Structure 1
Amino acid sequence: MTVPDERDDLEAQFTQWRQYVERRPELRRSDADELEDHLRGSVDGLIESGLRADEAFLVAVKRMGGLDELSREFAREHSERLWKQLVLSGDTDSPVAGAQPRRDLLALIVCAAGAAVSIKIPALFGMDMEQDVAFFARNISLFAFPWLAAFLAWRRQAAPALIAVLLGLFALGAVAANVHPLAEDSQSLVLTGIHLPIALWFAVGLAYVADDLRSSRRRMDFVRFTGEWFLYLGLIALGGNVLIAFVFGTFEAIGIVPEAFIIQWLLPCGGVAAVVVAGWLVEAKQSVVENMAPVLARLFTPLFAGVLLAFLVAFGWTGGGIDVERDALILFDVLLAVVLGLLLYSISARDPLAPPGLFDRLQLALVASALVIDILVLVEIAGRISEYGTTPNKAAALGENVILLANLAWSAWLVLGFVRRRTPFAALERWQTGYLPVYAAWAWVVALAFPPLFDYL
């Protein structure tokens, strides 16, 4: 028999093992259930034979063999299913895993076409992309993200209540983008242009996790989706540039200059449609490229750790201050966001049962360095505000750096505890996924409240 504390620890180990199993795209949820039942039965038998719960779990996992070996065995047993997954659908855990690929393709065509049409609707009211740059800059995410969210909500068969929430969020985004009388040189216009897409991207995330809103694992899946979506969008953009070059060159060769068509139609319509197409590609080819972002994270983590440590050494050596003008603030916030992104994608690909190693210590150095830099930037911002007063840029940067400070500080503590073998790895993952709504809330505050709060400056 196991005592309650041992049973709780054992269940935590089962949970970590299950989370790792469910990351393997070649295993269905039913396969994971079968493996877990087999593991639990083996553990129960070992406990009855006299082993402690933790010993029984380790022995049972060892007897089952490496998970990669198990995955390959399942792939060989279900080779037809694996081929279909790799080539057609890939998302075996979603509620629509058995849906016909043609239905997904039809939904993609509808949503991509909807995005392309929506960006041309302002032209019916006399707006031009070259002359009304500020309008399109504020609203660009509203032409693309609702359609991507619609595609994801359709795939996950989102409940009507959640669909209503999504419609409300995008309507709120339209209000934030257009109701405030902002001049083209106002700081609030720039802040809205930066923060509104972030807020709406979290609305896309709500559609992504529609099948399990409270699941930490599904939130981490959305983090992975975000990285792969960004990579695919970049690849599409590169291909689009090649296409534009061919269109321009070939038509110009026969005396036709397609510049107006490219600027007014191909670029805007293709750009917003590509947002939806990239999301579909991640969903359809998930098992092929799911490790791209984590691999890049493992590559750049030591590089960024070295750069941040070198910056801190140089800062201490020179004894100078930090320039907290707008461009510098954006640069530091992007840098800190990249650090968190590297941490998130490394977490998403890590075996939660593996012991801490050298890479975990590199992550600790990276997070600790970013934490120190965040504190230095906060001190500079607070000093400038107390001396010269606040501006929308400084207030937004202050809030963002406070939010980042809280995340980095607790993340550093959890990574330190994990490296010292005092904190389970799952705690770090739960903290990161649970903190995501804080960023969404702040983005909405900046986009909605800052313009009137600072008199539309």
Structure 2
Amino acid sequence: MTVTNGEDELEAQFAQWREYVRRRPELVESDADELEDHLRGTVDDLVARGLAPDEAFLIAVKRMGGLDDLSREFAREHSERLWKQLMFTGGSGDPARAGRSRRDVIAMLVCAFGAAVSVKVPELAGLSFDSGDDTFYGRNIALFALPWLAAFLVWRRRPGAGVIATLVALFALGAVVVNAYPLDDDSQSFGLMVTHLPIALWLVVGLAYVSDDLRSARRRMDFIRFTGEWFVYLVLMGLGGGVLIAFLHGIFDAIGVDSDSVISNWVVPCGLVGATVVAGWLVEVKQGVIENIAPVLTRLFTPLFTVALLAFLVTIGWNGRGIEIDRETLVMFDLLLAVVLGLLLYSLSARDPQAPRGPFDVLQLALVVSALVIDALVLYTMTGRIAEYGTTPNNVAALGENIVLLVNLAWSAWLLLGFVRRRNRFAAIERWQTSYLPVYALWFWTVVLALPVLFSFR
């Protein structure tokens, strides 16, 4: 009986390992079989030498090296296959994976087409980009795109009815608020709505992304990775779309046809909302096939931003001048702090939790501490201006956002310091960042729902 139980446990370990191997897009079924044969042979040899099966399995896996290293070796040996996978998803040797890939493409096309159609529906009511109704589209552009991206993610995750109902309710709430609130186009409340609602809705997309495991910190970190890769893909697609539009204008102009109306009314709006879905699909199906882009950019820009912020603080200390806060400067500092937070998040998302402390961790600590000091200086200046001139929707929103960032950066700095000094584990930093995501969601929805009402929509 003991032998049988040991064999069953060993087979369960093999099954778990095999499932993990088959999730690697670089490896088709025959490759997985080859790796498994090699692993089984090593385990049998170690068992024959007197090791227990579970010990033999762990040692054999260790000897094989990291699966990512193995998959990269396979990718180099089969480079033609890898290049094909960059264009065509799914493994040719795995019919189930190929079928799932085709269904993903169909779902993506349906959602992208739905987004493109939805952005043209308002024209039935006489609202168009050419008729001067740009403020309507400025309010609602996220609502034409992000629900369809969430729908694609829901199709892939297959959550329960309760999660789907929550997603629908949140998107509906955003649509009602942005169109029902009596916002003047020149009011501060309108500006806050236009800038904060898309971020609030993006966090609703995050709920769709993690809907297969709502309590998992790992899935929240996956969403952070998804956000960075999605943004990079969207920018690249936007650059390509700009080239396409330039060629369209040029070639039609060469035959005396004015294409400006078609481009502004069809190509730009439909392409923009459709691209949000396509970018999400690209991140979903290409993850693991090619190197993530956002962490690479993080490695490049973290040293540059650290030097820039330290130089800024040294200059303040040298000339003794405080920060002069106006609306444009405040927006710039908020964006700067958001970029610093992004650099921190994406470096965390790409870091091996088991890797030892290194110089880059110290560099990150210097970056976070510098941003923390700058945030404190900005908050000090802001509270003085509010005490002198009173509150407005803009400065209350900015004050709240800086406080939210200050709390995050302060505790991040403390955890990073403990990690660098070997007093806590890297996992604590990850848990803090992923658990803080609901705080951002709460604040952005507060700005969207409550601040316009509190300030009588001015």
Whether these two folds match at TM > 0.5 is yes
| Residue equivalent to 2:102 | 102
Alpha-carbon shift at residue 83 of structure 1 (Å)? 7.8
> 1:106 and 1:22, CA in 2 relative to 1: closer, same or farther beyond 3 A?
closer
Alpha-carbon shift at residue 311 of structure 1 (Å)? 0.8
Tell me if 1:167 matches 2:168.
yes
Alpha-carbon shift at residue 322 of structure 1 (Å)? 1.5
Tell me if 1:444 matches 2:454.
no
Check the 8 A contact 2:90/2:101 in 1, yes or no.
no
Check the 8 A contact 1:209/1:218 in 2, yes or no.
yes
Equivalenced residue count is: 423
Secondary structure at the counterpart of residue 119 of structure 1: helix
In the aligned structure 2, how far is the partner of 1:255 from the partner of 1:456?
A: 48
In the aligned structure 1, how far is the partner of 2:424 from the partner of 2:73?
A: 33
| Residue equivalent to 1:209 | 210
| Residue equivalent to 2:235 | 234
> 1:79 and 1:349, CA in 2 relative to 1: closer, same or farther beyond 3 A?
same
Secondary structure at the counterpart of residue 450 of structure 2: helix
In the aligned structure 2, how far is the partner of 1:259 from the partner of 1:126?
A: 19
In the aligned structure 2, how far is the partner of 1:60 from the partner of 1:422?
A: 32
> 1:80 and 1:156, CA in 2 relative to 1: closer, same or farther beyond 3 A?
farther
Tell me if 1:278 matches 2:279.
yes
> How many percent of aligned residue pairs carry the same amino acid?
66
Alpha-carbon shift at residue 157 of structure 1 (Å)? 1.4
> 1:86 and 1:245, CA in 2 relative to 1: closer, same or farther beyond 3 A?
closer
Q: Which runs of 5+ in 1 are unaligned?
A: 1-19, 50-57
> 1:344 and 1:258, CA in 2 relative to 1: closer, same or farther beyond 3 A?
same
| Residue equivalent to 1:17 | none
Supply the AA of the counterpart residue of 1:333. D
In the aligned structure 1, how far is the partner of 2:321 from the partner of 2:438?
A: 36
| Residue equivalent to 2:141 | 140
> 1:21 and 1:433, CA in 2 relative to 1: closer, same or farther beyond 3 A?
farther
Tell me if 1:358 matches 2:327.
no
> 66-75 or 239-248, which moves further after superposition?
66-75
| Residue equivalent to 1:412 | 413
Check the 8 A contact 2:119/2:269 in 1, yes or no.
yes
Alpha-carbon shift at residue 100 of structure 1 (Å)? 2.9
> 1:69 and 1:241, CA in 2 relative to 1: closer, same or farther beyond 3 A?
closer
Check the 8 A contact 1:367/1:411 in 2, yes or no.
yes
In the aligned structure 1, how far is the partner of 2:255 from the partner of 2:326?
A: 50
- Structure-to-structure mapping, 1:210-359, within 5 angstroms: 210-359=211-360
**1:98-152 CA-partner distances (Å, limit 9, x unpaired):** 7432211111111111111111111111112241121111111000000010011
Supply the AA of the counterpart residue of 1:113. F
Q: Which runs of 5+ in 2 are unaligned?
A: 1-19, 52-57
> 1:78 and 1:289, CA in 2 relative to 1: closer, same or farther beyond 3 A?
closer
Check the 8 A contact 1:224/1:345 in 2, yes or no.
yes
Alpha-carbon shift at residue 324 of structure 1 (Å)? 2.1
> 1:450 and 1:23, CA in 2 relative to 1: closer, same or farther beyond 3 A?
farther
In the aligned structure 2, how far is the partner of 1:248 from the partner of 1:83?
A: 33
> 155-164 or 348-357, which moves further after superposition?
155-164
Alpha-carbon shift at residue 217 of structure 1 (Å)? 1.1
Supply the AA of the counterpart residue of 1:377. V
In the aligned structure 2, how far is the partner of 1:435 from the partner of 1:21?
A: 32
| Residue equivalent to 2:390 | 389
Alpha-carbon shift at residue 97 of structure 1 (Å)? 5.7
| Residue equivalent to 1:8 | none
> 1:192 and 1:90, CA in 2 relative to 1: closer, same or farther beyond 3 A?
farther
- Structure-to-structure mapping, 1:36-75, within 5 angstroms: 63=63, 65-66=65-66, 68-72=68-72
> 1:23 and 1:454, CA in 2 relative to 1: closer, same or farther beyond 3 A?
farther
Check the 8 A contact 1:24/1:71 in 2, yes or no.
yes
Check the 8 A contact 1:115/1:273 in 2, yes or no.
yes
| Residue equivalent to 1:4 | none
In the aligned structure 2, how far is the partner of 1:442 from the partner of 1:215?
A: 22
In the aligned structure 2, how far is the partner of 1:318 from the partner of 1:97?
A: 63
> 1:357 and 1:67, CA in 2 relative to 1: closer, same or farther beyond 3 A?
farther
Supply the AA of the counterpart residue of 2:271. G
Secondary structure at the counterpart of residue 391 of structure 2: coil
Tell me if 1:118 matches 2:118.
yes
Secondary structure at the counterpart of residue 158 of structure 2: coil
In the aligned structure 1, how far is the partner of 2:366 from the partner of 2:216?
A: 29
In the aligned structure 1, how far is the partner of 2:25 from the partner of 2:166?
A: 30
| Residue equivalent to 1:432 | 433
Check the 8 A contact 1:229/1:279 in 2, yes or no.
yes
> 1:442 and 1:66, CA in 2 relative to 1: closer, same or farther beyond 3 A?
same
In the aligned structure 1, how far is the partner of 2:283 from the partner of 2:191?
A: 30
> 1:451 and 1:275, CA in 2 relative to 1: closer, same or farther beyond 3 A?
same
In the aligned structure 1, how far is the partner of 2:350 from the partner of 2:24?
A: 10
In the aligned structure 2, how far is the partner of 1:288 from the partner of 1:71?
A: 9
RMSD: 3.4
Supply the AA of the counterpart residue of 1:260. S
> 1:208 and 1:334, CA in 2 relative to 1: closer, same or farther beyond 3 A?
same
> 1:77 and 1:314, CA in 2 relative to 1: closer, same or farther beyond 3 A?
closer
In the aligned structure 2, how far is the partner of 1:220 from the partner of 1:347?
A: 9
Alpha-carbon shift at residue 296 of structure 1 (Å)? 0.4
Supply the AA of the counterpart residue of 2:258. V
In the aligned structure 1, how far is the partner of 2:438 from the partner of 2:162?
A: 19
> 214-223 or 64-73, which moves further after superposition?
64-73
In the aligned structure 2, how far is the partner of 1:24 from the partner of 1:158?
A: 24
Alpha-carbon shift at residue 65 of structure 1 (Å)? 3.5
The structure number with the bigger radius of gyration is: 2
In the aligned structure 2, how far is the partner of 1:145 from the partner of 1:343?
A: 25
**1:410-447 CA-partner distances (Å, limit 9, x unpaired):** 00011111101111001101111111111111110001
TM-score by length of 1: 0.84
In the aligned structure 2, how far is the partner of 1:64 from the partner of 1:78?
A: 19
Secondary structure at the counterpart of residue 289 of structure 2: helix
> 1:396 and 1:24, CA in 2 relative to 1: closer, same or farther beyond 3 A?
farther
In the aligned structure 1, how far is the partner of 2:245 from the partner of 2:83?
A: 34
**1:54-75 CA-partner distances (Å, limit 9, x unpaired):** xxxx999865535543444777
In the aligned structure 1, how far is the partner of 2:81 from the partner of 2:438?
A: 36
Check the 8 A contact 1:148/1:275 in 2, yes or no.
yes
In the aligned structure 1, how far is the partner of 2:339 from the partner of 2:22?
A: 26
> 1:239 and 1:78, CA in 2 relative to 1: closer, same or farther beyond 3 A?
closer
Check the 8 A contact 1:90/1:285 in 2, yes or no.
no
